[in-house]
Amino acid sequence: MTYAVQTMVDAVSVGALYAMSALGIGLLFGIMRLINFAQSEFVTVGVYTLMLSAGLWFPFAALLAIVVVVLLALAVERAAFRPVRDADPATLLITSFAVSYLLQYALVLIFGARPIGFDLLPQLGQPVLIGEVRIPRLNIVTIVVTVVLMAAVALFLRRTRIGIEMRAAAVDFRMARLLGVRADRVIAVAFGLSGLLAAVVSVLFAAQTGTASPAMGLQLALVGFVATVIGGMGSLPGAVLGGLAVGAVTVLLQAVLPPDLRVYREAFVYAAVIAVLVLRPQGLFRSAAMRERV
């Protein structure tokens, strides 16, 4: 019984990190229709920044990571994506691959490919015991931060002028521009926000793994994309729930599959993803922007 409850806790906590990762990816997709593969390197650069600032006062190190990643996201938007903004989505996708490789190999060049160990917020690894169930503090923090950030992003999109402009751009970019929405500003803010979210993910991920390695953000971003797709392209609650679902299914399968089949766990996870897409091709949630209006 304890094991069952513990597994549910694990499922939610693994899902929460994926959910947060999906939030950043979903945000950019919703506004720009951009599948940004470089999002994984935004997280990785955040982790390396934290590794370099290991030993500094934590709030300062975290702030530094946020500043570095947001500036990186803005620089990437300005240098790589703005010149090809009007190109078709395939060009944008390839550009994001190029940026992703560039950043990854830049990290290999500077730090080498060998993982580097460091100890960030060790106290977060200690569990809180509720009865027999063990909940690492980090998981509680991850869940709380995910909920808070999702609410904050939602408020930002609904209550601020720039947020409303972003939503307008998401529905019809050309019309929004005709009505006076400044495209450069809207897109730069979207990139900045996705950078901010990536930086927060990097803090939580670094506290969990205690390791910096050049390709570590890849899996988070990959699951983030899958989550965005099954959640409903362009829907932020959809992306978050999609991330939660993928994480939860992964942990549950790990718990119930017999040892021989556990090796093939990913196959079962993605079979479930395909099943969702067959039953609901538009994803679990459907954003207003993606609806056909005839």
Query: Between residues 39 and 287, which has the closer beta carbon with respect to other proteins?
Result: 39
Per DSSP, what are the bridge partners of residue 127?
136
145 binds other proteins (CB under 8 A): no
Take residue 238 and report the two structure tokens written for it.
């959809």
CB atoms within 10 A of CB 28: 25
116 binds other proteins (CB under 8 A): yes
218 binds other proteins (CB under 8 A): yes
Query: Between residues 151 and 256, which has the closer beta carbon with respect to other proteins?
Result: 256
Strand ranges for the chain from DSSP E: 116-117, 127-130, 133-136, 211-212
Query: Between residues 131 and 180, which has the closer beta carbon with respect to other proteins?
Result: 131
C-beta of residue 166 within 8 angstroms of C-beta of residue 186: yes
Query: Between residues 182 and 262, which has the closer beta carbon with respect to other proteins?
Result: 262
10 binds other proteins (CB under 8 A): yes
d(CA 103, CA 36): 13
Helices (H), the chain: 2-32, 39-52, 58-76, 89-111, 137-159, 161-171, 173-178, 183-209, 218-231, 236-256, 259-262, 265-279
C-beta of residue 144 within 8 angstroms of C-beta of residue 152: no
118 binds other proteins (CB under 8 A): yes
Task: Give the shortest CB-117-to-other proteins separation in angstroms.
Answer: 4
C-beta of residue 86 within 8 angstroms of C-beta of residue 100: no
Q: Kindly tell me which residue out of 74, 78, 177, 254 binds other proteins, with binding defined by CB under 8 A.
A: 254
Q: Kindly tell me which residue out of 215, 272, 277, 290 binds other proteins, with binding defined by CB under 8 A.
A: 215
CB atoms within 10 A of CB 260: 7
Nearest to 229 by CA among 290, 273, 291: 273
- Helices 89-111 and 39-52 sit at what angle, rounded to 10 degrees? 20
Residue span 16-55 as binding mask against other proteins, x where in contact by CB under 8 A, dash where not: -xx-----------------------------------x-
91 binds other proteins (CB under 8 A): no
Query: Between residues 35 and 212, which has the closer beta carbon with respect to other proteins?
Result: 212
Q: CA 213: distance to chain centroid?
A: 18
102 binds other proteins (CB under 8 A): no
Q: Kindly tell me which residue out of 63, 164, 255, 272 binds other proteins, with binding defined by CB under 8 A.
A: 255
Q: What amino acid occupies position 33?
A: R
213 binds other proteins (CB under 8 A): yes
Query: Between residues 10 and 41, which has the closer beta carbon with respect to other proteins?
Result: 10
Task: Give the shortest CB-282-to-other proteins separation in angstroms.
Answer: 27
Q: What angle do CA 42, 78, 224 make, to 5 degrees?
A: 30
Pairing of strands 133-136, 211-212: unpaired
Footprint of other proteins on residues 260-279 (CB under 8 A)? 262-263, 266
136 binds other proteins (CB under 8 A): yes
251 binds other proteins (CB under 8 A): yes
**Interacting residues toward other proteins by CB under 8 A:** 2-3, 6-7, 10-11, 13-14, 17-18, 54, 105, 108-109, 112-119, 122, 125-127, 134, 136, 139, 205, 208-211, 213-216, 218-220, 223, 250-251, 254-255, 259, 262-263, 266
